[in-house]
Structure 1
Amino acid sequence: MLPGDPARLIAGSGTLNSASPQVLRLINHQYGFDRPLIDQYGHFLGQLAHGRFGTSYQLNQPVTKVILDQLWATVTVAVGAAVLGFVLALVLALTTAGRPKARAVSSAIELLLVSTPSFWVGILLLSLFSFRLHLFPVLGNEGVQSLVLPWVTMALPIGGALALVMREGVERALDEPFVLTVRARGATQRRVLLRHVLRHALLPVLTLSGWVLGQLLGGVVVVEAVFARAGIGQITLTAVDGRDFPVVTGVVMLAATTFVVINTAVDLLDRVVDPRLRAVAR
């Protein structure tokens, strides 16, 4: 239903009429575009069930290979940003919990971080640290230095959102009776926070892990475009722009599978962190 002819894309002629009718007929027959729509869809689902996404129209390579070749670059950015965002949230929550003035300032900053578009943050970071101060490379995938600005760009909104939730959990846990008991035994404030309170504060953060994953999956496309990095986001943009449907399908399936696996792991981890859930399950 979308405008454009996949056969012309495969032939490399785009929307022009440079490909001969014979070549287009051959491509349509080879890829099954001349078969009835219901047959094409049934074949597509059968291939999908076996993990076969077909061949990229633009690159003429198996979609699985196209994705796997770029997967590590994307995983490096996403995992680094997630770790940095969690550390940022942890520091903000623990240093401002129970301190009204510090909490007010930190909350305002966190809301600003969550509300600011990541592409704009990336452009600002590039302008300051790459173009003006020349501390980091402008683009590319070479070395750890090229990862710092993408990590920060994706970590800021994640850290801001997690800090808001984590601090609320810390303050709620500080009001629990067990904290008074632990302090009565002579525990220091640091021990109370790190050994007892933090475990309770992490429960709502685990619940937000699905949102964090969504931020990573969506943010990596923007970040790889802003910083001209190779990766899943870059091939997704190229595939959408060139209507390379097999690649788009493969990326969507990868994102959906990752989302399901990580959220299932989070549900299981909830029971490890909170013994009350294990008791309910029994």
Structure 2
Amino acid sequence: MGRYLIGRVLQAVGVLWAAFTLSFAGLYLLPGDPVDMATNAATGTPVDAAAAAEMRARYGLDQPLWTQYWTALGHAVRGDFGHSISTGQTVTAALGEALPSTLALAGAGLLLALLGGVALALAAAYTERPWLRGLLTALPPIGASIPGFWVGLILLQVFSFRLRLVPAFGGSGFGATVLPAITVAIPVGAVIAQVLYASLVRTWRQPFVAVALAKGASRWWVQSRHVLRPAAAPAFTVAGLWVGSVLAGVVVTETVFSRPGVGRLAQESVLHEDIPVVQGIVVFAALAFVTVNLLVDLAYPLLDPRVVREHSRKERAHA
């Protein structure tokens, strides 16, 4: 068990390092000068060469690329991503202002995805009517294939512009969050429903299920008490893997619905080539992804103890 946990933690650290390194390389390969773009955006006119050189020295952009990388990596390990080139605000403060709205939307979207996906899979596996099962199992592929921004635009058109039930852009509270949360939830919930339904079908075919039914237990009792827990492990893993997709979907959704948050901050930072802010956002997204997946990995043995036994067997085989 200890080696299993250590291995998962080391994998998480490796993912974070890779996210930082790849984002650093990709951002510094972009054409254009972030200092020139930042100063032009702030003043509307180019600044003189001396002021631009002073600004590059202040942010360490005049140093060799490898020096910049190791300096930035050392600071990032301590949670310091520097200052925004555009605003001068610390990256940590900028993320702190944007995160509450984004986390609220991501949490609401993931909750709706879990509730909707699980309910749809349970209903499809429980029903004995072929036409209803066919209808329910046809919905997840449709939901997974529809682009998120298109869903958001359709929801805006119907519920905001035509029915006027919720505000179209901005705002706060339940009315301003429900449509963005549904937009985020549909593709994730569709994948969860597909995986859980397939796992439920496989579990329904196990001998212990036939024994429980033969003893007179109802289909609902068997599904809730005997089938759901062993079938939930794959869907639980998929939900963790899709956290990164939830965050990506939130960024797009915030842009569509003009909501404040990390999405708008990322959009503005990319436009201005604000390297410290963009890199901070990338590393934060990677941190959220690996943290949730690490928690999933730690919880997985509780759902299926065979995982640890199989891991131990492989270690003994390689020893």
**Aligned partner of 2:213 among 168, 174, 183:** 183
**Aligned partner of 1:127 among 157, 181, 195:** 157
**Mean Cα displacement is larger for which, 135-144 or 93-102?**
93-102
Equivalent residue number for residue 57 of structure 2: 29
Segments of 5+ residues of structure 2 without an aligned counterpart are 1-28, 313-319
Equivalent residue number for residue 84 of structure 1: 112
| Letter in structure 2 aligned against 1:255 | A
Count residues in correspondence: 282
Instruction: Tell me the CA shift for residue 198 of structure 1.
Output: 0.8
- Asked if 2 retains the 8 angstrom alpha-carbon contact of 1:56 and 1:246, the reply is yes
| 1:92-120 alpha-carbon deviations (Å, 9 max, x no partner) | 11112154322222222211111010000
| 1:13-47 alpha-carbon deviations (Å, 9 max, x no partner) | 57975312232122122222223333223322222
- Asked if 2 retains the 8 angstrom alpha-carbon contact of 1:73 and 1:231, the reply is yes
| 1:58-93 alpha-carbon deviations (Å, 9 max, x no partner) | 222000110111111111111111111111111111
| Letter in structure 1 aligned against 2:33 | D
**Aligned partner of 1:96 among 105, 124, 127:** 124
> Is 1:200 equivalent to 2:230 in the alignment?
yes
Q: Residues of 2 paired with 1:32 and 1:167: CA distance? A: 53
> Is 1:241 equivalent to 2:271 in the alignment?
yes
| Letter in structure 2 aligned against 1:243 | E
Equivalent residue number for residue 168 of structure 1: 198
Equivalent residue number for residue 90 of structure 2: 62
| Letter in structure 2 aligned against 1:117 | P
- Asked if 2 retains the 8 angstrom alpha-carbon contact of 1:8 and 1:15, the reply is no
| 1:125-144 alpha-carbon deviations (Å, 9 max, x no partner) | 00000000011111114111
- Residues 109-128 of structure 1 aligned to structure 2 (within 5 Å): 109-128=139-158
Instruction: Tell me the CA shift for residue 235 of structure 1.
Output: 0.7
Q: Which runs of 4+ in 1 moved over 3 A?
A: 12-17, 278-282
Equivalent residue number for residue 218 of structure 1: 248
Q: In 2 relative to 1, CA 135–95 (structure 1 residues): closer, same or farther, beyond 3 Å?
A: same
| Letter in structure 1 aligned against 2:150 | W
Q: Residues of 2 paired with 1:158 and 1:109: CA distance? A: 13
**Aligned partner of 1:228 among 245, 258, 271:** 258
Q: Residues of 1 paired with 2:41 and 2:105: CA distance? A: 35
| 1:231-280 alpha-carbon deviations (Å, 9 max, x no partner) | 11111111111111101100111111111111111111110011323444
Q: In 2 relative to 1, CA 110–13 (structure 1 residues): closer, same or farther, beyond 3 Å?
A: closer
- Asked if 2 retains the 8 angstrom alpha-carbon contact of 1:56 and 1:244, the reply is yes
- Asked if 2 retains the 8 angstrom alpha-carbon contact of 1:89 and 1:159, the reply is yes
Higher relative contact order (CA 8 A, sep 6+): 2
Q: Residues of 2 paired with 1:260 and 1:199: CA distance? A: 24
SS class of match (1:224):
helix
Equivalent residue number for residue 269 of structure 1: 299
Instruction: Tell me the CA shift for residue 209 of structure 1.
Output: 2.5
| Letter in structure 2 aligned against 1:89 | G
SS class of match (1:208):
helix
- Asked if 1 retains the 8 angstrom alpha-carbon contact of 2:42 and 2:86, the reply is no
| Letter in structure 2 aligned against 1:49 | V
